[in-house]
Amino acid sequence: MKYKSTRSSVTVNAMEALLHGLAMDGGLYVPETFPQEVLVHKEWQGLSYEEIATCVLSYFFSEIDKDTLGAMIHKAYGNGRFAAAEVVPFHSLDTDLTVAELFHGPTLAFKDLALSLFPHLLVAAKERTNEKKDILILTATSGDTGKAALEAFKDIDGISIIVFYPHDGVSPMQALQMQTQTGNNVHVLGLQGNFDEAQAFVKEVFTDSQVREKIAQRGYIFSSANSINIGRLLPQIVYYVWTYAQLIERGCITQGEAFNVVVPTGNFGNILAAYMAKRMGIPIHTLLCASNENHILTDFLQMGIYNEKRPFYKTTSPSMDIVRSSNLERFLYYVMGEDTTHMIRWQEQIQNNKQATVPTKVLQQIQKEMLGGYASDEIILESIRQVYDRDGYLLDPHTAVGYAVYQKYKRNHLLPSRHTVLMATAHPYKFPLTVHQALGLANTTDPFTALLQLQDMTGIAIPRALHELSHKKRRFMSAVSSSQLESAVLEAADFMKKRSDMHE
Ligand SMILES: *Cc1c(COP(=O)(O)O)cnc(C)c1O
């Protein structure tokens, strides 16, 4: 399978795309074609998550033979790394609403699904491209990617990782998870700024030849673990194929029957994977893109105007506090007819005016695929409480955004009446203070107190990954400004190099 940039005719193979992350022209890599025969030739029923993953991903990473790929997939999802044997289990909330629980991985967020596999793909890419330098992963996080990436890459030979997170923009649990990270090849930096600034910095150094040169002198090449990398994006397609198979198995739909998907959205990676699954023939009817108070995507999907001139809100669903959604570029590339000149113009408009508009025809095309809505913090709390009171089921604040938007659409008869799947992106206990407040428990500012009270009330056991945080040593406490970032990166690179040399 070949991959091409959204901004030029540059084409690379999967291994190069994995290694580089971003195309040199600043565009994102997309697969040249989507495998169609997957669905024609394959009977999905009865296959395990790992088997479906091997089948789907062997099309996208055709340079890796199927047995090797299968072994990587087993390392990623097998051996008890995921708390649920099915990897992604399901919960029926209603006769026409199923929740897909994407949060049973080691760090309790859906990011684990792609990031558990990604390091193995990257190691393969390094070998197959004969790259002798070590890889330095730079990753911006709005909260969950960081921990999932750190956990996935820790102590992997030949790779080091630096994670940037908005210092005051993540939940206390998220911050602790990252600050206490173990491993010799990891580094974490708090950034005085928001996610968009962290992400912009990463994109900048990627295409800055001077920084790349400095990093090369230290024996590294850059790569990224953000959802701009195809190694992050494509493994996410798997759970949509799995969802389709399981909906049939559970009697929610029949073979070939279309269903809707609701996705709590930030950087647009998860929902883009759903769109790609649809391009492969998975019968997804309508995609519902759910945002929080930072609802640039809702506005765009409703009016066709992407306007970045807007306030940035810190909400109770921090992993969705994003204004510039990177992966939207990939979606637009497809709905604009895979025309790179449109994409370059779009990008220039955003660069120059912080705003861009799609033609009415394109907007109509977009609205055939995707609808958008948003929910305020208040509605989120109400949704968590309502679902718990009625169904005894606990939503995390991000999933609650999806639920609230779904309800609004359903109430107003704006969603085609189909079976709907809500993608649950985080474990509710990752955000104990918000969930605690939603259930009306006595006020506390200590996340561990909140966890214990939640456990008492709901009977849902505290996952060990959270429990152990209360007594783990905090290793990474520093916060830097964006002007200090470059030197902080170089310093961290030197430090990790020294440590890894010592261990050789
Ligand atoms: C990252 C994240 C999201 C947003 O996903 P995107 O792929 O960036 O759109 C939603 N919920 C949670 C819990 C997340 O960690």
- Sheet with 29-31: strands ordered across: 11-13, 2-5, 29-31
Cα(320) to centroid of ligand 1, in Å? 6
User: Which pLDDT score, from 0 to 100, does residue 38 have?
Assistant: 67
Helix (H) or strand (E) holding 3: strand 2-5
- Enter the tokens of residue 294: 């930072």
Q: Is 434 in the pocket of ligand 1 (CB under 6 A)?
A: no
Q: Is 227 in the pocket of ligand 1 (CB under 6 A)?
A: yes
Cα(326) to centroid of ligand 1, in Å? 12
Closest approach atom of ligand 1 to CA 236: 7
Closest approach atom of ligand 1 to CA 396: 13
- Enter the tokens of residue 40: 């024609």
For 59-96, the pLDDT digits (tens) are 999 999 999 999 999 999 999 999 999 999 999 999 99
User: Which pLDDT score, from 0 to 100, does residue 40 have?
Assistant: 60
E strand intervals along 158-283? 159-166, 186-191, 220-224, 259-264
Q: Is 109 in the pocket of ligand 1 (CB under 6 A)?
A: yes
What is the residue extent of each domain of the chain? 90-109+231-429
Please give the torsion angle defined by the CA atoms of residues 100, 331, 324 and 7, in that order, rounded to the nearest 10 degrees: 140
Whole-angstrom distance, CA of residue 22 vs CA of residue 28: 6
Q: 159 in helix, strand or coil?
A: strand
Over range 157-180, report the average pLDDT.
91
For 366-415, the pLDDT digits (tens) are 999 999 999 999 999 999 999 999 999 999 999 999 999 999 999 998 99
Number of helices and strands (H, E) in the chain? 23, 16
Higher-confidence residue of 112 and 200: namely 112
90-109+231-429 has CATH 3.40.50.720 classification = no
- Quick one: what percent of the chain has pLDDT higher than 70? 98
Q: Is 327 in the pocket of ligand 1 (CB under 6 A)?
A: no
Q: How far is CA 108 from CA 70, 87, 174, 419, in A?
A: 23, 12, 10, 26
Question: Which residues have C-beta within 8 Å of that of residue 459, sequence separation ≥ 6?
Answer: none
User: Which pLDDT score, from 0 to 100, does residue 253 have?
Assistant: 96
> How confident is residue 335, by pLDDT bands cut at 50, 70 and 90?
very high
Q: 97 in helix, strand or coil?
A: strand
Please determine, for residue 473, whether its predicted confidence score (pLDDT) is greater than 60. Answer: yes
- Enter the tokens of residue 268: 């647009």
Q: Is 320 in the pocket of ligand 1 (CB under 6 A)?
A: yes
Residue to mutate, 115, 171, 398, 403, ligand 1, most ligand atoms under 8 Å from C-beta: 398
Residue 313 DSSP one-character state: -
Cα(390) to centroid of ligand 1, in Å? 26
Whole-angstrom distance, CA of residue 193 vs CA of residue 489: 16
Q: Is 270 in the pocket of ligand 1 (CB under 6 A)?
A: yes
User: Which pLDDT score, from 0 to 100, does residue 351 have?
Assistant: 92
Helix (H) or strand (E) holding 136: strand 134-140
Q: How far is CA 307 from CA 310, 330, 428, in A?
A: 7, 18, 32
Cα(103) to centroid of ligand 1, in Å? 11
Whole-angstrom distance, CA of residue 269 vs CA of residue 159: 24
Q: Is 401 in the pocket of ligand 1 (CB under 6 A)?
A: no
Please determine, for residue 458, whether its predicted confidence score (pLDDT) is greater than 80. Answer: yes
User: Which pLDDT score, from 0 to 100, does residue 503 have?
Assistant: 59
Q: Is 181 in the pocket of ligand 1 (CB under 6 A)?
A: no
Question: Which residues have C-beta within 8 Å of that of residue 185, sequence separation ≥ 6?
Answer: 153, 154, 155, 156, 159, 160, 161, 496, 499, 500
E strand intervals along 305-361? 305-307, 355-357
Closest approach atom of ligand 1 to CA 268: 9
Within 13 Å and on the Cβ side, how many CA atoms surround 310?
Answer: 19
Q: Is 326 in the pocket of ligand 1 (CB under 6 A)?
A: no
- Enter the tokens of residue 233: 């994006």
Residue with the two structure tokens 């407040």:
437
Other beta carbons within 10 angstroms of residue 9's beta carbon come to 8
Q: Among residues 190, 179, 108, 81, which one has the least CA distance to residue 466?
A: 108
For 240-254, the pLDDT digits (tens) are 999 999 999 999 999
User: Which pLDDT score, from 0 to 100, does residue 504 have?
Assistant: 52
> How confident is residue 142, by pLDDT bands cut at 50, 70 and 90?
confident
For 24-68, the pLDDT digits (tens) are 898 999 999 998 866 665 677 789 999 999 999 999 999 999 999
For 310-331, the pLDDT digits (tens) are 999 999 999 999 888 989 999 9
Over range 407-429, report the average pLDDT.
96
Helices 485-503 and 195-207: crossing angle in degrees, nearest 10, is: 70
- Sheet with 159-166: strands ordered across: 220-224, 134-140, 159-166, 186-191, 479-480
Q: Among residues 361, 360, 435, which one has the least CA distance to residue 395?
A: 435
Higher-confidence residue of 486 and 234: namely 234
For 293-314, the pLDDT digits (tens) are 999 999 999 999 999 999 999 9
Over range 157-182, report the average pLDDT.
92
Between CA 207 and CA 268, with CA 162 as vertex, the angle to 5 degrees is 65
Please determine, for residue 195, whether its predicted confidence score (pLDDT) is greater than 60. Answer: yes
Question: What's the whole-model pTM score?
Answer: 0.94
Mean pLDDT (the chain) is 93
